[in-house]
Structure 1
């Protein structure tokens, strides 16, 4: 296996031979692979995964239970071509096909989140905020999807689909996690949910969860992670206006009371507090028409952050920052069957953003804010978006499906952008398909990117970051060719993808010594980078018995920047090997043992630090009866530790779920 992993050419040849065999007609064998999974994210319409041209992966409710996933970062551990890391123990980072965290669009039920928008924090905290207990499935589309979703989807889309009420019941779960070396350190996860079932024409789900995270203390007595308490409250309701028309409402509230400690170069400890709140509200109408279906909805969100810094020795306030973001969105789409072989989807979106805080410097509506003996100045910025899109699902014949789509986005902060895409699925026979995607993507600069004005003490250095109102949108051109198929108990897919990105936003940083201040780093955002990302994805699985399934995924990635240098935070090769067990009983046991590995992970290009490592994990889920189930697992079984990668050793996690 080692020789295969270290030779992309050998792997490609092996993959082609396997998939060629899969592509051969099968007449007598029973197809044992379930290909009935459906996606709505790739095309905004319900479509079988094997039919859609896009590279799609669905993480089911059963998958989440089996691995004991508590948050989104946990849920993505075994996903193809996704790397999850925690570089600073404050939030998590992901790369999708080599594209960074801020280039992935995270949605909940197709709706954007109001969240952090800076170059370094966009999406990072959401991977730990989004609790999995209330999730039905996660749909992942790899590759740019700007033709349907506009800005931010350069790497792909991660759409979390929440559960729908089926019958009246009450659910409670407790999920503790503990480091094996420091068993008093870890976190506690509590979850409550009430499902109303169908009550007249209303159906409701009301849920609340709490995560309490301990401080992880290093050998020098400091704690780098954010610790404290995070609470979520969610209400999702549907009212049946008629048999084919539904009114959807939702309320989602987040409260974070977190702390952290860092060590300054002078030896002084600084305590930080992070008081974050988020309120989101949504109202939507959806239904079926004579020849299709439609949806129109509006949603509003506010996200407020207050960060304060104190000297550990005296409790004196040394710095603070505040920010408040507001977004309002109105969107809708209509899908109509045009003749027997065309499904036409048209839609549009209007979105408005407002940002008020001490870390932007527009000079608009300047205000002063005071905490303790410190007064800081802030200002405001806003951005208006609008977009229209159209897509045709054209069934040319029994073998060929062609899906062209195009979207036009406009804003008061950047010029209009056109994002076309063409996808095709060709059925070579009943058990194999050839897929092709060609498209363009873009990501508009955020208000933070354009108007950032931040000065902060970090790691013993004064850091000053300045935005750039002249930034252009980042743009990409992507190509993808894939072959996939099933033969008996075996299924597989081989994909080759190219993503060429230009006008990437990066920071130009100058470090100097300032008398009386010390070391100072001045950074400004510029469109000075590009990225050439090519890769090969290989997925294969086999149902060994009626209870055991073996799966493997592998990605070879060649990700380079402007001067041909490798991009940091990416592995040259990565993959997972998974052994799944399910006794297929109503009250039974399911389990998974998996190895996730990285080869030639570039941690730091400046210091030329490369990492190669593998982590073993195991999780077992037992359903005792219709009212009680339990879960037990170990992450990083062999206690791998690496301070630079923030691998803190093995962690034991457990869970109990009661349903009444």
Structure 2
């Protein structure tokens, strides 16, 4: 930690220590947990409905209204102002790295309506395209939980959870039509609310888009353009009332893309494969089907759910440098299916017990299992969990939870979590969390022999799961027109899964567990004020420090690549709150010491961005926005220049 960073942290901690005194002067009314209701209700943190103010976890909710105000045309742009989430392009121009609290993309669990979906599962591909395949216009809200959440969700939730909640029927028939265009893509979408027809209600969404060729990056001395082509996305969600507060729910999804890249005029040194080849056009085609059937119900004491789900993705790829020996390309199939049941039982006014069980099976099939001689492999997990929401008097909310997972490859894992909220008064509270997390090695990491950038990476069936210990403490408050929160987080990971070269085999590496501990820690700060009925200002600043205490020099930078020491954002928002009127947001973002491992350099830059919405009535709106107004571009970290977008939406 450098001197400047220490000074920043000291100042923030002192400011946080001063906040309670200011808050006490603002008001000392005794808090009652039942009165601390908030507009934002989060279900991801505790798997039950809980108010953002009272839930101990560090959570954030991005609503459909927030998404509209940002003029978001994809999920990444909807997350652009989320606390301590870094989103950057990849070197090949498709997909994005999503880092939460300075951790790797594959250490955040991404869910749709609390459910896992089929995605790529290598260390270099997991989650990179997961959010690309979601139609942002179907989203009701995005719930973000920071910190280890394996006690609730099992594997992969080391850094936290991003849960996409899709729209349900409002009960009134309507049709919404939208169209957007911009630097990166163009699209048209349709949201059909079928309304309530007797005991049935449902919605149907369609999205048709085309990614444009809009950027070019230098990869190992080779300029490579991003992939371009059409995408289709369909989603249906229906509910049938079986009785009072008892519903049968069906969700279906279909996604397809067909992307190509103009690389045919390029030459590439294959290194270990011997010689220079002339590249062909890159191709990537994906088709995914999702299905979920659930029974939900509640009464005075119980709120229960039983769900079965299935998700399958077929992916064809021909990226010339990753399929050198397979000129016709290769197809892999990823699928996950499972069944789960849970119930929340209110024992009395002070205790709500949530318990459940799950079974998941993951299957990967394809051409890359040469070492095992099979065409595919699978793993399965049985799990059970229990949690107590304890309202201890009128000041304490205590939530202990524990989960047991039985994995077919490495055995059992028990992950506890303890969260506490202490209510100083109606508007001020302390929160603390401690928990364990784990990430099971994936099918590909265990068994697949995967070629990328001319290097063959072999699976390792002896891998052990990554294990984390996370704790954080927070202070939150509202003081008249001012609000703020400050959080210190600390996370350590053992058995980090990485790759290293195989001795005596040129161009061959394998997965292994790092012998050491990777640590990320830092501070998250938010401070805002309502300047008037129309104007709001908000500042966020996130400091993250990542280090590796391993004796292995080869892994000393692991967990640091793609992480900035600090990201600070200042945003100004105007909203006239009229049915016919305007709202706009302008924000400046400063990124300090963004580390890139290939060049072993750090980069500091800032961008200015804005978006404006024009509402003509409660049915019709236009919007336009520009990111990176002054066209800052840094090839080494794949930072693209100016990006514009515009669109319209009309509801019949």
TM over 0.5: yes
CA, structure 1 residues 469+491, in 2 after alignment: closer, same or farther (shift >3 Å)? same
For residue 450 of structure 1, the aligned residue among 446, 453, 469 is: 446
| Equivalent residue number for residue 213 of structure 2 | 215
Alignment partner of 1:241 is 2:242: yes
Does structure 2 conserve the Cα–Cα contact (< 8 Å) formed by 1:334 and 1:347? Answer: yes
Residue 284 of structure 1 deviates from its aligned partner by 0.3
Tell me if structure 1 keeps the 8 A contact 2:207–2:232: yes
Relative distance call for 1:218 and 1:148 in structure 2 (3 A) is closer
What's the CA shift for 1:222?
5.5
Residue 148 (structure 1) aligns with: 152
**SS of residue matched to 1:641:** coil
The residue aligned with 2:84 is 81
After superposition, give the CA deviation of every residue in 1:260-305 in whole Å (9 maximum; x if it has no partner): 2444134723211111110011100001033121011100111111
What is the aligned partner in structure 2 of residue 517 from structure 1? none
For the structure 1 residues 117 and 218, does the alpha-carbon distance in structure 2 shift closer, same or farther, using more than 3 Å as the test?
closer
User: Are 2:437 and 2:467, in contact at CA under 8 Å, matched by a contact in 1?
Assistant: yes
Which of 41, 45, 61 does residue 38 from structure 1 map onto? 41
In the alignment, what sits opposite 2:114?
110
1:133-155 CA-partner distances (Å, limit 9, x unpaired)? 11111000001100000001001
Q: Distance in 2 between matches of 1:345 and 1:362?
A: 44
Shift of 1:358: 1.2
Contact 2:191–2:203 (CA under 8 A) maintained in structure 1: yes
CA contact (8 A) 1:362 1:380 kept: no
Tell me whether 1:411 sits opposite 2:403 in the alignment. Answer: no
Distance 1:631 1:138, change over 3 A: same
Cα separation, 1, equivalents of 2:320 and 2:346: 62
| Maintained 8 Å contact 1:16/1:494 | no
Unmatched 5+ residue regions in structure 2?
30-35, 270-275
State the 1:60 CA deviation.
1.1
Q: Report the Cα offset of residue 455 of structure 1.
A: 3.4
C-alpha root-mean-square deviation of aligned residues, in Å? Answer: 2.3
Match of 1:289 among 281, 299, 313: 299
Quick check: which one's strand share is greater?
1
* Stretch moving more, 63-72 or 261-270: 261-270
1:597 and 2:598 matched: no
Query: Which of 343, 358, 366 is matched with 2:352 structurally?
Result: 343
How many angstroms does 1:76 deviate by?
Answer: 1.1
By how many angstroms is 1:390 displaced? Answer: 0.2
Superimposed CA distance per residue, residues 223-252 of structure 1 (whole angstroms, 9 cap, x where no aligned partner): 421111111111110111112101100110
Partner in structure 1 of residue 390 of structure 2: 394
Match of 2:272 in 1: none
Q: Equivalent residue for 2:509?
A: 523
Question: For the Cα contact (< 8 Å) 2:88–2:639, is it kept in 1?
Answer: no
Alignment-derived partner of residue 429 in structure 1: 425
Change (3 A) 1:433 1:317: closer
The worse-fitting range, judged by mean Cα deviation, of 42-51 and 624-633 is 624-633
What is the aligned partner in structure 1 of residue 343 from structure 2? 334
Q: Using the alignment, how far apart are the partners of 1:150 and 1:309 within structure 2?
A: 33
- Whether the 8 Å contact between 1:467 and 1:525 is mirrored in structure 2 is yes
Work out the CA distance in 2 between the residues paired with 1:269 and 1:6.
51
State the Cα distance separating 1:63 from its structure 2 match.
Answer: 0.9
Instruction: Give the aligned partner of residue 528 of structure 2.
Output: 541
2:372 corresponding residue in structure 1: 363
Aligned to 1:375: none
Residue 6 (structure 1) shift: 7.1
Partner residue in 1 for 2:174: 169
Q: Does 1:304 align with 2:314?
A: yes
Q: How does 1:258-297 map to 2 (within 5 A)?
A: 258-262=259-263, 263=266, 264-265=268-269, 266=276, 268-297=278-307
What is the TM-score with the length of structure 1 in the denominator? Answer: 0.90
2:32 corresponding residue in structure 1: none
Match of 1:369 in 2: none
What residue in structure 1 maps to residue 258 of structure 2? 257
- Mapped partners of 2:129, 2:503: distance in 1: 28
Q: Structure 1 residue 526: deviation in Å?
A: 0.5
When residues 585 and 412 of structure 1 are mapped into structure 2, their CA distance, relative to the original with a 3 A threshold, is: same
Q: Secondary structure at the match of 1:407?
A: strand
- Tell me the secondary structure at the aligned position of residue 652 of structure 1: strand
**Which of 198, 201, 216 in structure 1 is aligned with 2:199?**
201
- Residues 650, 436 of structure 1: alpha-carbon distance in 2 compared, 3 angstrom cutoff: same
Q: CA deviation at 1:72?
A: 1.6
Indicate how the Cα distance of structure 1 residues 568 and 390 shifts in structure 2: closer, same or farther if over 3 A, else same.
same
Give a deviation string over 1:89-128, Cα, whole Å, max 9, x none: 2200011111111011111111111111111110110122
Match of 2:579 among 582, 586, 592: 586
8 A Cα contact 2:210 2:228, kept in partner? yes
* 8 Å Cα contact 2:448-2:458 kept in structure 1: yes
Does the 8 Å CA contact 1:310/1:319 hold for their aligned counterparts?
A: no
Residue 569 of structure 1 aligns to a residue in which SS?
A: coil
1:412 Cα deviation (Å)? 1.0
Q: Is the 8 A contact 2:355 2:387 kept in 1?
A: yes
| Most deviating of 137-146 and 645-654 | 645-654
In 2 relative to 1, CA 218–553 (structure 1 residues): closer, same or farther, beyond 3 Å? closer
Residue 632 (1) aligns with residue 624 (2)? yes
- Tell me which moved more, 420-429 or 595-604: 595-604
Aligned-partner Cα distance in 1 for 2:217–2:111: 39
Structure 1 pair 27–496 and aligned structure 2 pair: CA distance change class (3 A): closer
How far apart are 1:213 and its partner, in Å?
A: 1.1
TM-score scaled by structure 2? Answer: 0.91
Stretch of structure 1 that moved more, 626-635 or 466-475: 626-635
Decide whether the 8 Å contact of 1:23 with 1:485 is kept in 2.
no
- Residue 530 of structure 1: how far off its partner (Å): 2.8
What SS is found at the alignment partner of 1:116? coil
Q: Give the match for residue 92 of structure 1.
A: 96
Contact 1:25–1:431 (CA under 8 A) maintained in structure 2:
no
Distance 1:544 1:129, change over 3 A: same
Structure 2 residue matching 1:43: 3-state secondary structure = coil
Alpha-carbon distance between aligned partners in 1 of 2:23 and 2:255, rounded to the nearest angstrom:
47
Compared CA separation, residues 36 and 140, structure 1 to 2 (3 A): same
Equivalences for 1:540-579 in 2 at 5 Å?
Answer: 540-563=527-550, 565=556, 567-579=560-572
SS of 1:161's equivalent? strand
User: How many pairs were matched up?
Assistant: 620
